[in-house]
Structures are given as structure tokens and as C-alpha cells.
């Protein structure tokens, strides 16, 4: 199961994901993205510190927002990715498309800097 918390801090829309994101639970992640996107949040930081596993369907959520973020010049940063999850991002090639920060501070710096 996945648990998603949203937070607005320093003009940044934080999405904190914990648990597993698989085909069934990816819809929750998608809803969190959609909400921020429709609210016009131009800076989005996704906290993946507590994300244990993400399936290809979960990755699809990130993929589906890539174009729209680019089109609107919105910024997206992921941070706190664990090694196993990081590998999945790397293999797929997503690390070349999405900015990945080490930690929250780094993410804020990348978004607001």
C-alpha cells in the first residue's frame, strides 16, 4: 500500500510518498500530481525517502507528466531516492529527464535557486 502526504513549503508543492507504488496504488500518486498540476503549482518536489518499491506502472505516472511540465516550464525534483528505487529510475533512463536531488535542502535549492 501507498501513503501520500501533500505539503506546501517555501512556495514548493511537496508530495511525500511512502510504501509501495504498484499498478493498483499508482492512481493515488497520479491524483496527487494532478491536484498540484491543476492548482498551477509550478514547483513540485517529490519525497521518495520512504518509497520501498515502485513498479513500471508507478513510473508511468512520472512519465505521463513529463511533457506537461516541460510545456508549462514547471519544475519537478525528486529527492531521497533509495538505492533499489534509484536503480529502477536509472535503468529506464528517467534520471536523464527528471532532476534528482540528494535531500530536501538540495531539492529546495534546485527549485528556488
Residues in touch with another protein (CB under 8 A): 22-23, 30, 52-53, 55-57, 59-61, 63-64, 66-67, 84, 88, 91-94, 96-97
Q: How far is the CB of 2 from another protein (least distance, A)?
A: 15
Residue 68 CB, nearest distance to another protein (Å)? 9
- 52 versus 110: smaller Cβ distance to another protein: 52
**Using CA atoms, how far apart are residues 92 and 27, in angstroms rounded to an integer?**
20
- Closest approach of Cβ 110 to another protein, in Å? 21
By beta-carbon proximity to another protein, the closer residue of 12 and 51 is: 51
Q: Are residues 41 and 9 in contact, defined by beta-carbon separation less than 8 angstroms?
A: no
Dihedral, CA atoms, 96, 105, 15, 10, nearest 10 degrees? -120
Q: Which of 93, 112, 2, 8 is nearest to 48 (CA)?
A: 2
DSSP state of 24: T
Dihedral sign (CA 21, 24, 25, 29): positive
Residue nearer to another protein on the CB measure, 49 or 87: 87
- CB-wise, 79 or 89, nearer to another protein? 89
Amino acid at each position: 500500500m501507498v501513503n501520500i502526504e501533500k505539503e506546501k513549503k517555501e512556495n514548493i508543492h511537496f508530495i511525500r510518498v511512502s510504501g509501495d507504488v504498484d499498478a493498483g496504488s499508482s492512481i493515488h500518486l497520479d491524483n496527487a500530481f494532478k491536484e498540484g498540476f491543476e492548482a498551477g503549482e509550478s514547483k513540485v518536489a517529490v519525497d521518495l525517502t520512504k518509497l520501498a518499491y515502485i513498479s513500471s506502472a508507478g513510473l508511468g505516472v512520472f512519465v505521463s507528466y513529463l511533457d506537461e511540465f516541460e510545456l508549462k516550464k514547471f519544475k519537478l525534483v525528486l529527492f531521497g531516492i533509495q538505492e533499489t528505487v534509484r536503480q529502477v529510475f536509472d535503468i529506464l533512463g528517467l534520471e536523464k529527464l527528471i532532476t534528482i536531488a540528494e535531500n530536501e535542502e538540495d531539492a529546495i535549492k534546485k527549485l528556488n535557486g
